[in-house]
Amino acid sequence: MRLVILDDYALASEWAAKYICNRIIQFNPGPDKYFTLGLPTGSTPLGCYKKLIEYHKNGDLSFKYVKTFNMDEYVGLPRDHPESYHSYMWNNFFKHIDIDPNNAHILDGNATDLQVECDEFERKIEEAGGIELFVGGIGPDGHIAFNEPGSSLVSRTRLKTLAMDTILANAKYFDGNLSKVPTMALTVGVGTVMDAREVMILITGAHKAFALYKAIEEGVNHMWTVSAFQQHPRTIFVCDEDATLELRVKTVKYFKGLMHVHNKLVDPLHSMKKN
């Protein structure tokens, strides 16, 4: 497990975007070899998406041979609703890059049979050869995707009831009106993300500091589902200084020391390759 600590949100977003860019370029995708990328929504990845769009527009990165799988979608919210995750992804990312719409996979929260939709999503991931890199964010309660506290750490894509903390946190996107916030969602499971060959989790802001502490310094616990990724062979937590406020000083020093070693080997902020 790696913990990468950057000074602020902008640098954390840039580091994450350059890491994704490097992974895609080094993979050298083509018509018979697609790069599979898992993607999150929410406020945290917006800076990363802006940087990826910038690299694409600069000619450094193409998504022509990339397949994406999003983590989650609300149930019952129309696809064209401004707060649906379909709208979020297309407005903030997909419409600005050269991805084939058929290769951008997002769960359908209005499907006739939601369980069939979830099973089909898992099948599509398997058919694509699994996820090469799954990028995620977390909530203040340590949930990843909509795997709320108490979720099984081997769970697969399924229907979930949202915790009240999540509904309250999402109310800002619905004019602060709790009655407008969806209470259910389709989400990939913790096990679904764990199956990815590599996982990168973005954690920024002081309000996520306790969750990062639980993810890094305490044991694996289904009440903090992000902690499961301690057991993944290739996990990178990317955070800003504010998110480290609950960590021990020696923990921060340890991981910052490792960063100096990694930076000499490969530093996304200085080594991004050109096409």
Kindly name the residue from 14, 73, 141, 240 that is annotated as catalytic: 141
Active site annotation includes 117: no
Q: Is the pLDDT of residue 274 over 60?
A: no
pLDDT at residue 126 in the model: 98
Confidence of residue 275 (pLDDT cuts 50, 70, 90): very low
Task: List, for residues 127-177, the tens digit of each pLDDT value.
Answer: 999 999 999 999 999 999 999 999 999 999 999 999 998 899 889 999 999
Instruction: Identify the residue whose tokens are 């000619």.
Output: 59
Spatial separation of the C-alpha atoms in residues 88 and 246, rounded to whole Å: 31
Concatenating the DSSP letter of every residue in 2-61 gives EEEEESSHHHHHHHHHHHHHHHHHHH--BTTB-EEEEE--SSTTHHHHHHHHHHHHTTS-
Q: Is 221 exposed, middle or buried (0-12, 13-18, 19+ CB in 10 A)?
A: middle
Q: Is the pLDDT of residue 273 over 60?
A: no
Q: What is the pTM of this model?
A: 0.94
Question: Mean pLDDT, the chain, as a whole number?
Answer: 95
Active site annotation includes 81: no
Q: Is the pLDDT of residue 52 over 60?
A: yes
Angle between helices 46-57 and 9-27 (to 10 degrees): 50
Spatial separation of the C-alpha atoms in residues 260 and 255, rounded to whole Å: 9
Kindly name the residue from 73, 132, 148, 195 that is annotated as catalytic: 148
Kindly name the residue from 56, 105, 143, 232 that is annotated as catalytic: 143
Closest CA to 55 of 87, 85, 86, 93: 93
Active site annotation includes 96: no
Q: Is 261 exposed, middle or buried (0-12, 13-18, 19+ CB in 10 A)?
A: exposed
Q: Is the pLDDT of residue 215 over 50?
A: yes
pLDDT at residue 271 in the model: 54
Task: List, for residues 98-108, the tens digit of each pLDDT value.
Answer: 999 999 999 99
Q: Is 57 exposed, middle or buried (0-12, 13-18, 19+ CB in 10 A)?
A: exposed
- Both structure tokens of 67: 């397949």
